[in-house]
């Protein structure tokens, strides 16, 4: 302040405490850019960082890798253990992923881990020389999941599926790079999860074929493009045919016969497995009445079930079909894969109890390939174990496969279960199975799966010592 002579006589200082303003700013920044649960960058910040990384990779002639990561069966984990455990798992995943990016305690410039929402995470890794470097990172991330996670006071294994795309190699903008990494991840899920997969043009092609097929599947049932083939299951003791396994076929108008391995997963993804599965059940039951007429009564039919069909109303659906068709429940068998049965054990136990009450036999398919808990096996009301064909294959049964087959047969005998071997192709395999008292067999040696119209040729035949139907 100056006096009348313009001399400075006083100073006034004004000051403001900015700390609360700074605090608010940083809070807003956190809310906008970070995920509150894991404290990782969220989708918004991830996109911004990715954009910068792509530009830099381009100008510095390096590659940036985008790893797109999804926890396998997270929904089941959440449903089974509750959201609190689910949240805690996501936090542990975040920690592990963050560690993956650290080298000697520091994260490199521009590398980030982000949570994109739900159980999806992304990693951006910069300055890579090429696919080899990316491969190393992918391997490191995948290996971070080999150690079990904490689930409350217990530990459990959790697996992830990872899709990877590189920029500029696979894409030069944010949206394309994300789409390609996502496609690679989707493809890896289809290959059975718990793996990682790089993007390639081939995946794009596969995906469009898949979308085409998916589209055609919607009309296939109505257009009567599905049919069932039947493969005999024979009693190895007297050579008689005891049952027929129903195997679905899709006669595509342009592509011809499409094997079930290629479209059953699509039926499952689209939910079409429910109507189609019901059609299979009903058609198989009707056909079973035909076998009775052609091949003599008492022959049963065996139907494969998919996971989505294992719901509470399955027994109702089957009950309705049986009464509509007029087939005795004792002539219907259901094949349930081992991995399916083990997925939701308590539900499976309840369902198997109900089916047993109805008088329907269930067998465990592909036995030996999944993770069986032998204690649960005791609680499952099942009649039969089916030894997976991968053990029967490999002509020399003196090796490990032979030991496994013998172990499964022994297990079945001890649990008072029947045992059937699938994929029997040679007289040597037949001899091996017979000498170890395997009850039943199925495979090309006896017969390929046949359409109903060719079943009559089996009438009155039995398997001879060499497996020929005479």
Name the site residues for ligand C2E (rule: CB under 6 A): 231, 246-248, 259-261, 264, 280, 304-306, 335, 365-366, 389, 422-425, 443-444, 449
Distance, in Å, from the CA atom of 174 to the CA atom of 320, rounded to the nearest integer, reads 53
Based on CB atoms, which residue is closest to ligand C2E, 78 or 337?
A: 337
Q: Choosing among Ca ion, ligand C2E, none, which partner's interface includes residue 167 (Cβ < 5 to 8 Å by kind)? A: none
- Residue 248 binds what, of ligand C2E, Ca ion, none (CB under 5 to 8 Å, by partner type)? ligand C2E
Q: Which residue is nearest to ligand C2E (CB)?
A: 443
User: What token pair was written down for 333?
Assistant: 């068998």
Q: Which residues contact 172 (CB under 8 A, 6 or more apart)?
A: 54, 58
CA distances from 104 to 94, 99, 107 (A): 19, 10, 8
Q: Which is nearer to Ca ion, 170 or 335 (CB)?
A: 335
Peptide bond into 398 cis (omega under 30): no
Q: Minimum Å distance from CB 304 to Ca ion?
A: 5
Residue among 196 and 263 whose Cβ is closer to ligand C2E: 263
Bridge partners of 64, per DSSP, are: 167
Neighbouring CB atoms inside 10 A of 323's CB total 10
**Which of the listed partners (ligand C2E, Ca ion, none) does 307 bind, with a CB threshold of 5 to 8 Å by partner kind?**
none
What CA–CA distance (Å, rounded) separates 127 from 320? 62
Distance CA 228, CA 280 (A): 8
- Does position 300 interact with Ca ion (CB under 5 A)? The reply is no
In the complex, the smallest distance separating the C-beta of residue 247 from ligand C2E, rounded to whole angstroms, is 4
Q: Which does 134 bind (CB under 5 to 8 A by kind): Ca ion, ligand C2E, none?
A: none
Residue 70 or 422 having the CB closest to ligand C2E: 422
Burial 43-64 (b: 16+ CB within 10 A, else e): bebbbebbeebbeebeeeebbb
**φ and ψ at 450, to 5 degrees?**
-120, 150
User: If phi over 0 gives left and psi between -120 and 50 gives alpha, with beta otherwise, what is residue 449?
Assistant: beta
Choose among ligand C2E, Ca ion, none what residue 361 binds, the Cβ cut-off being 5 to 8 Å by kind. Answer: none
* Closest CB to ligand C2E among residues 367, 380: 367
Q: Which of 389, 384, 415, 418 is nearest to 404 (CA)?
A: 389
Number of shown-chain residues binding Ca ion (CB under 5 A): 4
Binding of residue 366 to Ca ion (CB under 5 A): yes
Question: Which is closer to ligand C2E, CB of 180 or CB of 210?
Answer: 210
d(CA 268, CA 233): 27
Closest to ligand C2E by CB, 131 vs 307, is 307
> CB under 5 A: which stretch of 145-153, 180-188, 217-225, 298-306 binds Ca ion?
298-306
Least distance to ligand C2E, CB of residue 327, Å: 17
93 Cβ neighbours under 8 A, 6+ residues apart:
38, 71, 121, 149, 158, 160
Contact yes or no for 23/32 (Cβ under 8 A)? no
Tell me how far, at minimum, the Cβ of 107 lies from ligand C2E, in Å.
Answer: 45
Q: Is 365 in the site for Ca ion (CB under 5 A)?
A: yes
Subset of 309-348 contacting Ca ion (CB under 5 A): 335
Please, what is the minimum distance in Å from the beta carbon of residue 392 to ligand C2E?
8
Stretch that binds Ca ion, among 140-148, 275-283, 365-373, 453-461 (CB under 5 A): 365-373
Which CB, 78 or 300, lies closer to Ca ion? 300
| Minimum CB distance to ligand C2E smaller for 131 or for 260 | 260
Q: Give how far the C-alpha of residue 276 lies from the chain's centroid of Cα atoms, to the nearest Å.
A: 19
Contact between 50 and 67 under an 8 Å Cβ cutoff? The reply is: no
State the minimum distance, in angstroms, from the CB of residue 421 to ligand C2E: 10
Are 84 and 10 spatial neighbours (Cβ–Cβ below 8 Å)?
A: no
**Structure token digits, residue 382:** 């099942």
Report, in Å, the least distance between residue 420 CB and ligand C2E.
11
Which residues here bind Ca ion, judged by CB under 5 A? 304, 335, 365-366
């Amino acid at each position: 302040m100056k006096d009348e002579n313009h001399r400075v006589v006083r100073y006034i200082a004004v000051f403001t405490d900015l700390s609360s303003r700074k605090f608010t700013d940083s809070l807003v920044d956190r809310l906008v850019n970070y995920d509150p649960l894991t404290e990782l960058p969220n989708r918004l910040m991830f996109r911004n960082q990715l954009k910068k990384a792509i530009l830099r990779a381009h100008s510095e002639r390096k590659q940036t890798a985008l790893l797109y990561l999804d926890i396998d069966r997270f929904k089941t984990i959440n449903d089974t253990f509750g959201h609190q455990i689910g949240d805690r798992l996501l936090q542990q995943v975040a920690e592990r992923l963050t560690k993956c990016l650290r080298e000697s305690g520091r994260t490199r410039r521009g590398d980030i881990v982000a949570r994109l929402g739900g159980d999806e995470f992304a990693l951006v890794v910069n300055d890579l020389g090429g696919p080899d470097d990316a491969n190393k990172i992918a391997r490191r991330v995948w290996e971070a999941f080999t150690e079990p996670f904490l689930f409350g006071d217990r530990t459990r294994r959790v697996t992830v599926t990872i899709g990877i795309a590189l920029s500029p190699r696979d894409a030069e903008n944010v949206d394309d790079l994300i789409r390609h990494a996502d496609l690679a991840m989707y493809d890896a899920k289809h290959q059975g999860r718990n793996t990682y997969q790089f993007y390639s043009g081939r995946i794009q092609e596969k995906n469009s074929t898949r979308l085409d097929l998916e589209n055609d599947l919607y009309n296939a049932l109505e257009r009567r493009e599905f049919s069932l083939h039947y493969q005999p299951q024979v009693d190895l003791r007297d050579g008689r045919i005891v049952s027929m396994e129903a195997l679905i076929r899709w006669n595509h108008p342009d592509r011809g016969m499409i094997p079930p391995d290629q479209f059953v997963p699509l039926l499952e993804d689209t939910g079409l497995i429910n109507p189609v599965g019901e059609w299979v059940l009903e058609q198989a039951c009707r056909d079973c009445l035909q076998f009775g007429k052609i091949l003599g009564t008492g022959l049963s039919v065996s139907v494969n079930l998919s996971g989505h069909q294992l719901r509470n109303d399955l027994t109702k659906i089957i009950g309705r079909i049986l009464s509509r068709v007029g087939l005795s429940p004792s002539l219907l068998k259901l094949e349930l894969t081992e991995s399916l049965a083990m997925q939701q054990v308590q539900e499976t136990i309840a369902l198997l109890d109900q089916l047993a009450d109805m008088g329907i036999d269930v067998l465990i398919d592909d036995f030996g390939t999944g993770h069986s808990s032998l204690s649960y096996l005791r609680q499952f009301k099942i009649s039969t174990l089916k030894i997976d064909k991968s053990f029967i294959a490999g002509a020399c049964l003196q090796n490990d496969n032979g030991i496994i087959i013998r172990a499964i047969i022994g297990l079945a005998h001890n649990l008072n279960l029947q045992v059937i071997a699938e994929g029997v192709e040679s007289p040597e395999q037949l001899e091996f199975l017979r000498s170890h008292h395997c009850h039943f067999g199925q495979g090309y040696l006896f017969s390929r799966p046949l359409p109903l119209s060719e079943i009559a040729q089996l009438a009155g035949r039995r398997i001879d010592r060499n497996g020929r139907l005479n």
